[in-house]
């Protein structure tokens, strides 16, 4: 069976030394997020994840959710775990205090989310979706709705969902058919069917709050005609069951303890959230944070897969080292002596640690965008978040699937069977590349929306800090071995950006053909930038580290691997981008 130990030292290092989480305490609303308080929360979260959630991960996968007479039952132990989770205040960590939350930074919530996803990703979907619903209601609902629903979502007695997808449309939400008919009392009758609804029906909470995209009778076609509605499972005033039900529990590849449902709305009572026809903009209040959360799911799975693969590689005896026995007193050497195994482990390690830094950097700027008193600072941070969300979501989840597969490969045949628990991580990771917008859609969002907005305004939020860092650190001896490779990859990203930017207006297929390669190139450079910041921090701390010197030396050696072996991969997507769309689009459809 697998094991998990919360990487608190790694998390604290990124928070405190790389993304400067302590600076958030300068924001008035976060003044109480002291180093001591944050540390206590991280320690408590680690205990919860290791002792309560992780033991249920494998059993929950084997048992799965069950569907009987329209009711969904979660696996044994999940209900009790959710009660412990809720009573510990974890559902309201970064929610406003006026609704019963703790008012702590989203960045801290993200650090906790990583641990939750490592220990039990399926469990994490329930409170994760509730937080998205909280965000949408807090920003767009009327005061009466806020007073009724937000305290319950914050304390976890109610949970939330996002109801977007329908059988005939996934990403193209302009095709939705669910209808909303106005009623004399100001409510709406919601009729239609939604599929793939995570946490759509379950037994963990007293009520489930569905946020549903639907069309009014006079709605415009396409996405301009979509509105957002709140549809509770039970009506708060009367406690009566609403006309919403689960029609089917999906039999899916992974995250079996998470209930993925087909939901039927049969004239259900709902309330409009935000303005008519503005449902997509209201929904995107949920989507940005939800996409970051999915990236954190990938990060959590990559971390736990790496931990188990590294442990197994140090214990499993397999052949002798290519350069002679390293453990001659044993019948064979452990896997860790073999170059290919080390290559896989270092790839997992360097990408996991780099993606953690990148995700936390974006989360910090989400806090700044929401809470900074200076409007210009808020706008700049919001631009940066908008640019980086597709990168974090797509690259981290792609990395997670590769990492879990690499872990399975290191385990060999023992990884392929269910008893060791490694194959579960592969199955669980696969959905992260699909939901909240497939990774191909994330790439299109980056290239066709974010890159071109106002002649590259969003791109400058990344390029300018990188240029400033390179100028300031050009003579830093600790980075001397890393800067040439980074500068080369950074130049390729700039050239690729110019190439796609100049061709997008003339031929959108050029941008579409290069989008996924561009996102990968961007991510490799972005993670490389984080490794420059990690290396700088590690080199500085190593001078006075004492007993912690091996920790910082480990960081510098991992940075060396990233810049030598991973960042060199930037050339391939660059060459693919400048090859253009012809090799793809000139191929006849009948040839497939």
* 54 & 182 share domain: no
How far apart (Å, rounded) are the C-alpha atoms in residues 245 and 257?
Answer: 19
* 139 & 208 share domain: no
Looking up residue 69, the CATH number of its domain turns out to be: 1.10.540.10
Residues 6+ apart with CB under 8 A from 190: 178, 179, 180, 212, 214, 229, 231, 244, 265, 267, 268, 269, 270
Which pLDDT score is estimated for 170? 80
Which pLDDT score is estimated for 478? 95
How far apart (Å, rounded) are the C-alpha atoms in residues 508 and 506?
Answer: 7
Q: Is the pLDDT of residue 505 over 70?
A: no
88 is a domain residue: yes
Which pLDDT score is estimated for 144? 96
Instruction: Give the range of the structural domain holding residue 534, as residue numbers without chain letter.
Output: 439-582
Which pLDDT score is estimated for 164? 93
191 is a domain residue: yes
What kind and span of H or E run contains 487? Answer: helix 483-504
User: How confident is the model over 26-36, as a mean pLDDT?
Assistant: 90
How far apart (Å, rounded) are the C-alpha atoms in residues 199 and 250?
Answer: 11
Percentage of the residues of the chain whose pLDDT score is greater than 70: 100
How far apart (Å, rounded) are the C-alpha atoms in residues 197 and 302?
Answer: 25
> What tokens does 485 get?
């490779």
* 137 & 26 share domain: yes
Domain end: 252, 276, 300, which one? 276
Domain end: 151, 167, 185, which one? 151
Bridging pattern class, strands 158-163 and 207-215 = parallel
The dihedral formed by the CA atoms of 156, 286, 361 and 399, expressed in degrees to the nearest 10: 100
> What tokens does 84 get?
């412990």
Q: Give residue-wise pLDDT tens across range 128-175.
A: 999 999 999 999 999 999 999 999 999 999 999 999 999 998 888 889
What kind and span of H or E run contains 285? Answer: helix 279-315
* 195 & 210 share domain: yes
Q: Cα dist. 334→47, 326, 345, 403, 497 in Å? A: 31, 9, 14, 20, 45
* 224 & 130 share domain: no
Q: How many CA atoms lie within 13 A of 76 on its CB side?
A: 5
Q: Give residue-wise pLDDT tens across range 444-496.
A: 999 999 998 888 899 999 999 999 999 999 999 999 999 999 999 999 999 99
Q: Is the pLDDT of residue 75 over 70?
A: yes
* 146 & 194 share domain: no
Q: Is the pLDDT of residue 503 over 80?
A: no
pTM flag (> 0.95):
yes
Residues 6+ apart with CB under 8 A from 512: 444, 447, 448, 581
Q: What are phi and psi of 494, to 5 degrees?
A: -60, -45
What is the number of domains present in the chain? 3
3 state SS of 189: strand
* 77 & 206 share domain: no
Q: Is 128 exposed, middle or buried (0-12, 13-18, 19+ CB in 10 A)?
A: buried
Q: Give residue-wise pLDDT tens across range 171-222.
A: 888 899 999 999 999 999 999 999 999 999 999 999 999 999 999 999 999 8
Neighbouring-strand partners of residue 241: 234
256 is a domain residue: yes
Q: Is 181 a catalytic residue?
A: no
Catalytic option among 17, 201, 289, 436: 436
CB atoms within 10 A of CB 477: 8
Residues 6+ apart with CB under 8 A from 584: 509, 513
* 215 & 253 share domain: yes
Q: Is the pLDDT of residue 285 over 80?
A: no
294 is a domain residue: no
> What tokens does 101 get?
């939350």
How far apart (Å, rounded) are the C-alpha atoms in residues 42 and 15?
Answer: 11
190 is a domain residue: yes
Which pLDDT score is estimated for 548? 85
90 is a domain residue: yes
518 neighbors 500 (Cβ within 8 angstroms): yes
329 is a domain residue: no
Rg (the chain; Cα; Å): 24
User: How confident is the model over 361-381, as a mean pLDDT?
Assistant: 96
361 is a domain residue: no
How far apart (Å, rounded) are the C-alpha atoms in residues 383 and 451?
Answer: 11
Q: Is the pLDDT of residue 287 over 90?
A: no
What does the angle CA 353 – CA 358 – CA 359 come to, to the nearest 5 degrees? Answer: 95
User: How confident is the model over 293-304, as a mean pLDDT?
Assistant: 98
How far apart (Å, rounded) are the C-alpha atoms in residues 363 and 367?
Answer: 7
* 123 & 190 share domain: no
Domain end: 276, 305, 332, which one? 276
How far apart (Å, rounded) are the C-alpha atoms in residues 532 and 347?
Answer: 17
Residues 6+ apart with CB under 8 A from 547: none
266 neighbors 92 (Cβ within 8 angstroms): no
Q: At what angle do helices 106-140 and 339-371 cross, to 10 degrees?
A: 50
Alpha helix ranges (H) inside 419-482: 422-432, 439-445, 457-472
Q: Is the pLDDT of residue 504 over 70?
A: no
Q: Is 545 exposed, middle or buried (0-12, 13-18, 19+ CB in 10 A)?
A: middle
How far apart (Å, rounded) are the C-alpha atoms in residues 591 and 234?
Answer: 53
How far apart (Å, rounded) are the C-alpha atoms in residues 455 and 475?
Answer: 32
Per the prediction, the chain carries an average pLDDT of: 95
> What tokens does 444 get?
């299109």
* 168 & 186 share domain: yes
Q: Give residue-wise pLDDT tens across range 522-548.
A: 999 999 999 999 999 999 998 887 888
User: How confident is the model over 14-39, as a mean pLDDT?
Assistant: 94
How far apart (Å, rounded) are the C-alpha atoms in residues 418 and 438?
Answer: 27
CB atoms within 10 A of CB 379: 13
Looking up residue 250, the CATH number of its domain turns out to be: 2.40.110.20
* 498 & 531 share domain: yes
Percentage of the residues of the chain whose pLDDT score is greater than 90: 90
Residues 6+ apart with CB under 8 A from 138: 95, 96, 99, 146, 150
581 confidence band (pLDDT: 50, 70, 90): very high
Bridging pattern class, strands 207-215 and 260-273 = unpaired
How far apart (Å, rounded) are the C-alpha atoms in residues 392 and 355?
Answer: 8
Number of helices (H), then strands (E), belonging to the chain: the values are 18, 9
* 113 & 183 share domain: no
């Amino acid at each position: 069976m697998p094991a998990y130990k919360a990487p608190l030292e790694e998390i604290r290092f990124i928070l405190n030394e790389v993304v400067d989480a302590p600076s958030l305490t300068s924001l008035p609303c976060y003044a109480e997020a002291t180093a001591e308080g944050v540390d206590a929360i991280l320690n408590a979260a680690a205990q919860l994840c290791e002792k309560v959630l992780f033991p249920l991960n494998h059993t929950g996968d084997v048992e799965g959710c069950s569907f009987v007479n329209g009711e969904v039952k979660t696996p044994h132990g999940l209900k009790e775990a959710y009660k412990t989770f809720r009573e510990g205040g974890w559902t309201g960590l970064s929610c406003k205090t006026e609704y019963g939350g703790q008012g702590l930074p989203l960045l801290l919530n993200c650090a906790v989310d990583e641990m939750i996803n490592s220990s039990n990703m399926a469990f994490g979907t329930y409170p994760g979706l509730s937080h998205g619903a909280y965000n949408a209601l807090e920003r767009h609902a009327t005061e009466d709705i806020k007073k009724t629903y937000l305290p319950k979502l914050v304390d976890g007695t109610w949970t939330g969902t996002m109801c977007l997808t329908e059988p005939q449309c996934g990403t193209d939400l302009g095709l939705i058919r669910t209808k909303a008919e106005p009623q004399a009392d100001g409510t709406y009758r919601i009729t239609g069917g939604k599929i793939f609804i995570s946490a759509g029906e379950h037994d963990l909470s007293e009520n489930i709050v569905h946020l549903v995209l639907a069309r009014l009778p006079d709605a415009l076609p396409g996405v301009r005609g979509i509105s957002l509605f709140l549809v509770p499972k039970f009506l708060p005033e009367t406690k009566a069951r609403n006309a919403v039900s689960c029609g089917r529990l999906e039999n899916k590849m992974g995250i079996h303890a998470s209930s993925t449902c087909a939901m039927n709305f049969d004239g259900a009572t709902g309330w409009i959230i935000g303005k008519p026809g503005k449902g997509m903009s209201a929904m995107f209040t949920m989507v940005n944070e939800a996409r970051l959360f999915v990236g954190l799911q990938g990060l959590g799975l990559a971390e736990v897969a790496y931990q188990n693969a590294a442990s197994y590689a140090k214990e499993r005896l397999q052949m002798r080292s290519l350069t002679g026995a390293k453990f001659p007193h044993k019948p064979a050497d452990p896997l860790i002596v073999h170059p290919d195994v080390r290559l896989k482990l270092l790839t997992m390690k360097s990408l996991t640690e780099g993606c953690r830094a990148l995700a936390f950097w974006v989360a910090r700027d989400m806090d700044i965008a929401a809470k900074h008193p200076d409007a210009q600072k808020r706008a700049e941070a919001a631009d940066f978040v908008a640019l980086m969300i597709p990168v974090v979501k797509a690259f981290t989840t792609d990395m997670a699937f590769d990492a879990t597969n690499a872990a399975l490969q290191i385990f060999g045949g023992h990884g392929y069977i269910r008893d060791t628990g490694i194959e579960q991580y592969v199955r669980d990771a696969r959905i992260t590349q699909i939901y909240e917008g497939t990774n191909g859609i994330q790439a299109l969002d980056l290239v066709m929306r974010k890159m071109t907005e106002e002649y590259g305004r969003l791109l400058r939020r990344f390029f300018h800090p990188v240029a400033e860092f390179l100028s300031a650190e050009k003579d830093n001896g600790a980075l001397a071995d890393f800067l040439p490779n980074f500068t080369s990859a950074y130049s390729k990203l700039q050239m690729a950006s110019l190439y796609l930017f100049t061709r997008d207006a003339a031929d959108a297929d050029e941008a579409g053909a290069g989008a996924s390669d561009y996102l990968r190139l961007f991510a490799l450079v972005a993670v490389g930038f984080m490794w420059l910041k990690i290396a700088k921090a590690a080199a500085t701390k190593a001078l006075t580290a004492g007993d912690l010197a091996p920790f910082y030396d480990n960081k510098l050696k991992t940075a060396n691997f990233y810049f030598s072996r991973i960042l060199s991969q930037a050339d391939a997507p660059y060459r693919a981008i400048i090859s253009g769309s012809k090799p793809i689009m000139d191929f006849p459809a009948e040839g497939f």
